[in-house]
Structure 1
């Protein structure tokens, strides 16, 4: 039976949504086809502005029974309003700025520790286990004590075009820890994941820098021989760690498989992506995310929301784990906290909180008016709940910090 287009207010539990009338960027769901299992899913669609959906009667209930979401009344009033999230506990812009300042200090200290590890590998070709363990402990402490949003922004700011392998390792390790905590890994599993995240690319230090710098250039791609050589870096990383000794087998597996895409298109050729562990899939996604925002290997750097959109497409194509990606999107947000943005009103603002059910509509603190003059007290606006406002604000573009100051 072909799919049917219905108004969202006729959608109810038991129906299978086959398609939404909304782009991925504005969708509250990672997948646009799913079984409706609870009324909250319908509420999220309404909040996101969905008007119509396509249902598949062969995979769920057909159009029957009373709707769970009421349509607008004859007088034009809206459906029963969804209560906005509570503002209790929401941090002020001053508090966020203080957290960000602390995260930048932590980043500087962690970068120094990780840089020392990579410098030793370059000079001597060996890994110092004690030094590695100490760096990982420092990273884990920072991940536990500082807010995710502050750490993420501190690690990602000014990274476009950054070819530093040590900073890539630090970011991948930290973001992997956040995802590991989100899936409730135990302390040992987290430590092994952090170790793999920190050391997954040390094999690149064994390759000619010119190959690494051009590994993702599409206009003049690597020769077949250089491409194959580049794809040996997971194995090179494992060999270095095996020579040093003392690294757990799961760590070696994660490092060896972090390019083993789930559809079998990854490398090395002996790896099987469909059999990879949840931790390997976390490392695969965090590594790829940082590559996209930095422009690793000569690619064009992407903004966070563009990087997430690329990852979404790759997950749809079967390369990446969709559930892990969904957790990453919830942690990072389409527009991460601390992002400087320009609104459609030409006002300048800072993202201060996320809306879990409408990530494209975060809470912002408007710092400058349309003429560029700063407000003495920032105006806080929840972009997902602007009922009664004379003009509906939305994010027009993300700004570099220097341009939003």
Structure 2
């Protein structure tokens, strides 16, 4: 995108500019923005700048012609109104920087909770074959802890977590399905007992995959028919493993066996239809399908963005999956779920980091700004900034410098924070 260097005397409302200053050396929240008020131009002059950069493609008006002269800076009336505005902007920026620090602390807390839960998930899945009673007890403890936090929370912020290491897809997928299933169950008024059942079923719903040969699970080409038939046995393999522990809830076993069944009878392993599938199974099936479409593990299928997956499910999966739960998932994650790379209404590119269950239209977005160090990147609240999302972008098509700055996740995992005020600056 072309940038033109112009004298500050040529600035006018409608110019989209980039300041040649460090982010901390000016009172504006961002270093690149659209000029909307004459006072902004006066403030730029007060900064002592002789020139700025203008981006014509993002501007709503051209700069003033070069032959039109402005008063020299020394003659500009630095009135009390402008000085007051500068003080206000500096105060607001300082406040937003502090909010950003609190947001990052919230994100760090959530990441720590996620990693603890993931470690528990990894341990109990690995114990299932050798110490099944211990594995089931630890699973109950994990689910009880998550349920308790969810039930006590008035509002929840869903955060984007880090990528998964190679070979740990089963743990990340299982935790993601458990987390989102339990969140959705709470949203639609399910009882605490039902939420716990969902959590137990989701944690172990794909455990049978450890009985599937790794060359099938890691295969990048489409599966052969015999390979596909073997893969479709994994729900039965899951039940066989869980039968080692009699304490595992019977209803959760049924949900595990049926999570790949579909309302129209097109699923497996038994080809059941809607009337044969209980409500909780239908809910978990929606979440499992969502996460699987975002992160296909085999068969040569490409990963899709969360936004694209939600749109695809709503348009093409409502005969196979519960339409109401698809709608609820969209409502809970927002139109632009965490992990979405987006272009904002001001032309900036960002990564959706969090959504608040009570403010879904205004996610927290980390924005690309080369003038700001990556570890200090602004995470903005779209409502406070009077911005909106223009469109979703494919991470693979980002310029390398933007991709490296935003670091889009290849594995999109979510975890919740129930503390207040955790939705960005």
Local SS of the residue matching 2:298 = helix
In structure 1, the residue matched to 2:304 is: 302
How many angstroms does 1:337 deviate by? 5.0
In structure 2, the residue matched to 1:57 is: none
In structure 1, the residue matched to 2:40 is: none
- 1:383 & 1:305 partners in 2: Cα distance? 23
- 2:151 & 2:101 partners in 1: Cα distance? 21
Q: Which protein is bigger by CA-based radius of gyration?
A: 2
In structure 1, the residue matched to 2:119 is: 112
- 2:366 & 2:169 partners in 1: Cα distance? 34
Cα pair 2:147 2:192 within 8 Å, conserved: no
Q: 1:104 to 1:230 in 2, by over 3 A?
A: same
Alpha-carbon displacement from aligned partner over 1:289-326 (angstroms, at most 9, x marks no partner): 1112222225322211012122223324x111110011
Cα pair 1:282 1:324 within 8 Å, conserved: yes
Q: 1:94 to 1:211 in 2, by over 3 A?
A: same
Alpha-carbon displacement from aligned partner over 1:171-200 (angstroms, at most 9, x marks no partner): 111111001101111111111111001011
- 2:100 & 2:322 partners in 1: Cα distance? 35
Q: 1:319 to 1:338 in 2, by over 3 A?
A: closer
**1:384-395 equivalent positions in 2, closer than 5 A:** 394-395=390-391
How many angstroms does 1:95 deviate by? 3.9
- 1:240 & 1:191 partners in 2: Cα distance? 20
In structure 2, the residue matched to 1:101 is: 108
- 2:203 & 2:389 partners in 1: Cα distance? 40
How many angstroms does 1:286 deviate by? 1.0
Correspondent of 2:214 among 191, 204, 209: 209
How many angstroms does 1:259 deviate by? 0.4
Cα pair 1:117 1:127 within 8 Å, conserved: yes
Local SS of the residue matching 2:264 = coil
Cα pair 1:293 1:302 within 8 Å, conserved: yes
Alpha-carbon displacement from aligned partner over 1:67-117 (angstroms, at most 9, x marks no partner): xxxxxxxxxxxxxxxxxxxxxxxx954443332211100111011101011
Q: 1:166 to 1:373 in 2, by over 3 A?
A: closer
Q: 1:339 to 1:143 in 2, by over 3 A?
A: farther
Q: Tell whether 2:251 aligns with 1:250.
A: yes
In structure 2, the residue matched to 1:61 is: none
Root-mean-square deviation (CA, aligned residues, Å) is: 3.6
Local SS of the residue matching 2:210 = helix
**What is the TM-score when the length of structure 1 is the normalising length?**
0.63
Local SS of the residue matching 2:199 = helix
Local SS of the residue matching 1:262 = coil
How many angstroms does 1:342 deviate by? 3.7
Q: Tell whether 2:158 aligns with 1:150.
A: yes
Alpha-carbon displacement from aligned partner over 1:319-344 (angstroms, at most 9, x marks no partner): 11110011111111122357564436
Q: 1:378 to 1:177 in 2, by over 3 A?
A: closer
In structure 1, the residue matched to 2:260 is: 259
In structure 2, the residue matched to 1:196 is: 201
- 1:127 & 1:169 partners in 2: Cα distance? 18
**What is the TM-score when the length of structure 2 is the normalising length?**
0.61
Local SS of the residue matching 1:263 = coil
| Larger RCO: 1 or 2 (CA < 8 Å, sep 6+) | 2
Q: 1:362 to 1:398 in 2, by over 3 A?
A: farther
- Unmatched 5+ residue regions in structure 1? 1-90, 387-391
Cα pair 1:163 1:297 within 8 Å, conserved: no
- 1:128 & 1:378 partners in 2: Cα distance? 39
Q: 1:149 to 1:307 in 2, by over 3 A?
A: farther
In structure 1, the residue matched to 2:56 is: none
Deviates more, 1:141-150 or 1:113-122: 141-150
Cα pair 1:149 1:338 within 8 Å, conserved: no
What is the count of residue pairs matched by the alignment? 300
Cα pair 1:161 1:295 within 8 Å, conserved: no
- 2:231 & 2:378 partners in 1: Cα distance? 52
Cα pair 2:206 2:238 within 8 Å, conserved: yes
How many angstroms does 1:136 deviate by? 1.9
